[in-house]
Amino acid sequence: MKRALLIFLVVVLLSGTLFVFGCKPKKAEAPDVVVWHSLTPAVEELSKAHIEKTFKKLYPDITVKMEHISDLRTRLLAAIPAKMGPDIFIWAHDWTGEFSKAGYILPIDEFMTPELKAKYVDFAYEACAYNGKTWALPFAGETVALFYNKTLVKEAPKTVPELVTYMKANHKPGEGKYGIAYPIDPYFVSAWVHGFGGWYFRDSDKTAGVNTEGAIKGLKYLSDNFKPYMGPDPAGDIQRGVFHAGMAPFLIDGPWGIPAVEKAGINYGVAILPKIPEIDAYPKPFTGIQVMWITNNVKNKEKAFKFMEWFTTDLPHITERATKFRYIPVLKESLEAEGVKDNPIIMTFAQQMRDYGVLMPRGPEMMLTWGPFGDALLSFWLEPAKLEALFDAAQKDIEERIKKAP
């Protein structure tokens, strides 16, 4: 009896172990270039179709696989050190500092030519540079602008006081009408901080400036002019819902918000953020550039670069992504293309970025800035009187974090 049991259990254990080690997934022919991204399924499909149509003909010897990864950051942080990462990944450009410092991405200067460089709009290319090296290639830009509901307002206001007049006229909270829908978040409010000359973190002199005079003035201006005309909960989804329901004539949002606005059946237009006449300046929102990096797990850097170059410069591909999904092109040629240059929505976002955009910093320090800034921002929204104290504390907190960072 005892022996039978023993044998039985040994068999179980052995087969379990065999199971574990015997079942290594079959290694299919690994593609030359594996790309990890978080694009939506429809956008991924579009890219895949263009890869089939164009890229395969141009480079029949390079095989490519696009993989949607749902929590890209965690996955990359685990996979790259374990040598299981992709060849290329796609995200907004502000990860450059962190990932280059960790050695997870490789510079691509050896492939760069002046002709290629000249194809991208200047600020998009600038977003790919850090510490004197080029790390990425850009394919789309994002920023926030002013959406307006054409059935509620005829045309977009040009200045903030004009905007305030419209908001005041429409703001009747008791009847479910608000002046504006505005997600209160560090990215979305950056326009006012920058407009008044403040900043979050600067790569140029590596300093944080969340309690500088400009930042404080900008935040005060934001709160004085917008808060009275907003719904009580400043969370993004809720604010957007107000605009989608036609309860507010304005919304501050980026191009990613367009599909939802269209599906909600709102007759909308987009304008650049209105001027601040008090200081004769425009608000300057953060600009994020969607870029592609090559990781240090890359199998064949040249092939990876070829794909990246094609992905960011193939005109029909970029243009279709712009016209169908409102990805704002940063390829000069595409901005001149039919369907793009005559599309007021795309061109407004392009103008907002070009004329009044501030590139998100690339330094890893920026990652330490978002959190304290966001906390101070919401605390300020709760207790407006504490503005200076809150941002002084945030500035200290950020400096402390930067000092302690490895």
Partner 1 sequence: MARPISRPASIWHTRLALLFLIPGIVFFLFFNLYPIFYAINMSFTNTSGYNIIGEINYTGIANYKELLTGLGSRFFYVVVRTLLFMAVSVPLKVVAGLAFALLLNSELLKGKGLWRGLAIVPWAVPAFFSILIWRGMFAAGEMGTINQLLKMINLRGVNWLFDTTNTFIAYNIVEVWLAYPFMMTMILAAMQSIPPDLYESSSMDGAGTWAKFRHITLPLIKKPLLFATTLTSIASFTMFQIAFLMNQGGPARTNELVMVHGYREAFHSAGLRYAYAASFQVLVSFMIIILIILSLKASRLTKEE
Partner 2 sequence: MKIAGPQRAVFSLVITILTVLVLIAVVFPVFWIITTAIRPFPTISVPKFELIPKNATLEGFRWVLFESSFFLWLKNSLIVSAITVTLTLFLTILGAYSFSRFRFWGKESFLYGYFIASQFVGAFGITALIALYAFLARLGVINSLIILALIYTSGGIPFNTWLLKTYFDTLPKDFDEAALMDGASFLKVIYYVFLPIARPALAVVALFSFMGSWSEFILAQTLLGPENYTLPVGLWGLVGRWETPWNHFAAMAILFALPIVVFFIIAQRYLVAGLAQGGIKG
Which residues contact partner 1 (rule: CB under 8 A)? 2, 5-6, 9, 12-13, 16, 77, 81, 98, 101-104, 173, 176, 231-235, 237-238, 241-242, 245, 364, 367-368, 370-372, 375-376, 378-379, 381-382, 401, 404-406
Cβ distance to partner 1 smaller for residue 48 or 401: 401
Of 40, 151, 267, 300, the residue at the interface with partner 2 (CB under 8 A) is 40
Cβ distance to partner 1 smaller for residue 176 or 339: 176
Cβ distance to partner 2 smaller for residue 244 or 303: 244
Q: Are strands 358-359 and 129-130 parallel, antiparallel or unpaired?
A: unpaired
Least distance to partner 1, CB of residue 296, Å: 9
Is residue 93 helix, strand or coil?
Answer: helix
Contacts of 262 by beta carbon, 8 Å cutoff, 6+ apart: 268
What H or E segment, with its residue span, contains residue 99? helix 96-101
Cβ distance to partner 1 smaller for residue 81 or 197: 81
For residues 192 and 163, the answer to whether their CB atoms sit within 8 Å is no
299 makes contact with partner 2 (CB under 8 A): no
Of 93, 119, 244, 362, the residue at the interface with partner 2 (CB under 8 A) is 244
Amino acid, res. 296: N
Q: Decide which of partner 2, partner 1, none touches 98; Cβ closer than 5 to 8 Å per partner kind.
A: partner 1
Cβ distance to partner 2 smaller for residue 35 or 216: 35
Closest CA to 239 of 178, 293, 164, 187: 178
Cβ distance to partner 2 smaller for residue 241 or 371: 241
Tokens for 295? 């990781």
Q: Decide which of partner 1, partner 2, none touches 69; Cβ closer than 5 to 8 Å per partner kind.
A: partner 2
The residue count for binding partner 2 (CB under 8 A) is 45
68 makes contact with partner 2 (CB under 8 A): yes
Residue 108 backbone phi and psi in degrees, to 5: -120, 25
83 makes contact with partner 2 (CB under 8 A): yes
| Phi-psi domain of 265 (left: phi exceeds 0; alpha: psi -120 through 50; beta: other) | left
Q: Decide which of partner 2, partner 1, none touches 277; Cβ closer than 5 to 8 Å per partner kind.
A: none
Least distance to partner 1, CB of residue 249, Å: 16
Cβ distance to partner 2 smaller for residue 8 or 336: 8
- Partners of residue 105 on adjacent β-strands: 295
Closest CA to 339 of 347, 349, 351, 330: 347
Cβ distance to partner 2 smaller for residue 142 or 309: 142
Residue 39 carries which DSSP code?
-
Residues 8-37 that bind partner 2 (CB under 8 A): 8, 19-21, 23-25
For residues 326 and 143, the answer to whether their CB atoms sit within 8 Å is no
Q: CA 93, CA 114: separation in Å to the nearest integer?
A: 21
- Give Cα separations from 298 to 4, 89, 100, 111 (angstroms): 52, 11, 14, 15
Neighbour tally for 5: CB within 10 Å: 9
Instruction: Return residues touching partner 2 (CB under 8 A).
Output: 1, 5, 8, 19-21, 23-25, 38, 40-41, 67-71, 74-75, 77-79, 81-84, 176, 236-238, 240-242, 244-245, 247, 253-254, 256-257, 259-260, 263-265
